[in-house]
Amino acid sequence: MPLSIGIVGLPNVGKSTLFNTLTKKGVDASNYPFCTIDPNVGVVKVPDKRLDALAQVSRPAKIINTVIEFVDIAGLVKGAHAGEGLGNQFLAHIRECDAICEVVRNFENKDIIHVDGRVDPKSDEETIHMELIFADLATTEKRLEKVIREAKSGDKEAIKLKALLEKLKEKLAAGVTVRDVEMNDEEKIILKTLSLLTAKPILYVLNTDEPKSSPDFNWPGETIKVNVKLEEEISALPEGEQAEYIKELGLDESGLDKLIRASYKLLGLDTFFTTGADETRAWTVKHGSKAPQAAGVIHTDFEKGFIRAEVIAWDKFVEAGSETKAKELGLMRTEGKDYVMQDGDVCNFLVNR
């Protein structure tokens, strides 16, 4: 199941246009039978030039990118934490996502009315920032009421949870997000059980007419400037013409590709590859995963039956020109169960079946 990014924002900021444009770069659902694609969920290919370079060497029958999932979440309004608009539904959908992509409007258009009657990116970001904090504060206070009673009985786990909740309540009340609260390893493990919104990693999309000249904002995450309307026009072109049009605009790549890659990085993911005549494919692992876990991504039985892995960096594979040549040159190495996967590894896994 791919990890998911929830696209959030006030109404009329270009959120759904961005989502619809992203999903045009999606995948055939038949390639990913484990996914049930709802109308507001899109599985999107992660662009990767390394995959293309490997395919040039192996000439496979199929090329399969790794993917992430984007979720278009109902527009937020002030007071959502108290149930205004689709507040409760909005917040529940964010809790189900692994990270947040917040779209902020920085374009003028008389035909698209801003919910507050004026375009003010700083104010819009502050509105969502505070709504998420208020929601987390309510969740924390409610949980704290219950755990105080449990802690009085001497329950050690309840005492630890109570201490963390009290710490979080104080910080949230001061306007500090959970992701910015210093915690030890034990507290981080407890935190995962709380499903707090501001604990999730976040990036921002500044939807702007002029990405190059738009102002910078000191927000607590990476900000990607995108002209969503222009990206919609680019995605409507035949795939073969898109790269040429992007070049004519003086850009190195589309804003969407930049966003997709940034979202992938935000989730703390690495990519490894398998390549051959049948298929060249990108696979996803959490950063820091070991070789048996990576093998298990391909098939769950592979993790249990893992013996060893043949590994080579993708660029060394491309330089060699073939797997056979890479082995002749001694570029492929054998790694065992303790090997920590590196982003860009090309692997063959040897397993007991």
pLDDT band at 105 (very low <50, low <70, confident <90, very high): very high
Mean pLDDT of 216-221: 88
What integer best gives the mean pLDDT of the chain?
Answer: 88
Mean pLDDT of 275-286: 96
pLDDT of 37 over the 50 cut = no
Tokens 């507050």 map to which residue? 116
pLDDT of 39 over the 80 cut = no
pLDDT of 43 over the 80 cut = yes
Query: Whole-model pTM?
Result: 0.85
283-298 pLDDT, tens digit each: 999 999 999 999 999 9
Amino acid code (one letter) for 252: D
What is the pLDDT at residue 240?
A: 80
Mean pLDDT of 95-108: 92
| Low-confidence winner among 86-95, 109-118, 168-177, 331-340 (lowest mean pLDDT) | 86-95
What is the pLDDT at residue 32?
A: 40
| Low-confidence winner among 72-81, 152-161, 234-243, 273-282 (lowest mean pLDDT) | 72-81
Could you give all domains of the chain from N- to C-terminal order, each with its CATH number?
288-351 (3.10.20.30)
Regarding predicted confidence, which is higher, 288 or 42? 288
Laid out side by side, the sheet with 62-64 consists of: 62-64, 279-286, 269-275, 345-351, 306-313, 333-335
pLDDT band at 30 (very low <50, low <70, confident <90, very high): very low
CB of 224 closer than 8 Å to CB of 206: yes
What is the pLDDT at residue 76?
A: 66
Among 150-164, 224-238, 241-255, 294-308, the range of highest mean pLDDT = 294-308
Q: Render the burial of 264-289: b for 16+ CB within 10 Å, e for the rest.
A: bbbbebbbbbbbeeeebbbbbbeeeb
Mean pLDDT of 322-344: 96
